[in-house]
Amino acid sequence: MPHAPILTLTLEVRALVAEPIDIGVVGRGRRRVVPIMGGTFEGHGELNLRGRVLSGGEDWQLIQDDGVSEVDARYVLEAQTGETISVRNRGVRHAPADVMRRLLAGEKVDPSLVYFKSSPIFETSAPSLQVLVKSIFVGAGERYPNEVVLRFWKVE
């Protein structure tokens, strides 16, 4: 019988975000774009580095009528040593209707009430960071009024 994969915490990102830009109702739901203003990150285990989230990234959200949000964020990490990592993080976020209403209004809600999972793809030319390119990761997020905390686990 095959064994289930093991997950190893590898990276934690704390992204500072601005007020969402509401595009309005389009096709399958309401489109919002959330500017990423900066932040920090820290590697764990074999990814022993830290650095900053560069400003200029964005999280494109599509909020469906049932409250389910499709998220698609793109941003760049810069390590203290100068290497850069591009991140594309696609995911799903949902919660009971009253919790989603408060979350989308920018209020602080208990992260344990919100399902916020993702699958990131990393790109980097840094030889020492190729584990990011050559591995599969899963993520879990927490949304706060001015910050998103993302933790990524490597699938072993």
Judge whether 148 lies within some domain.
Answer: yes
The boundaries of the domain holding residue 30 are: 7-155
- Alpha-carbon distance values, 42 to 107, 121, 135 (Å): 26, 17, 18
Residues 97-126 have pLDDT tens digits of 999 889 888 899 999 999 999 999 999 999
DSSP for 32-52, please give it: EEEEEEEEEEEE-TT---EEE
User: pTM above the 0.85 mark?
Assistant: yes
Judge whether 1 lies within some domain.
Answer: no
Judge whether 67 lies within some domain.
Answer: yes
Quick one: which H or E segment has residue 9? strand 7-17
Domain CATH code at residue 127: 2.40.160.20
Judge whether 147 lies within some domain.
Answer: yes
Residue 59: per-residue pLDDT: 98
Domain count along the chain: 1
Judge whether 2 lies within some domain.
Answer: no
Question: CB of 53 within 8 A of CB of 41?
Answer: yes
Residues 48-60 have pLDDT tens digits of 999 999 999 999 9
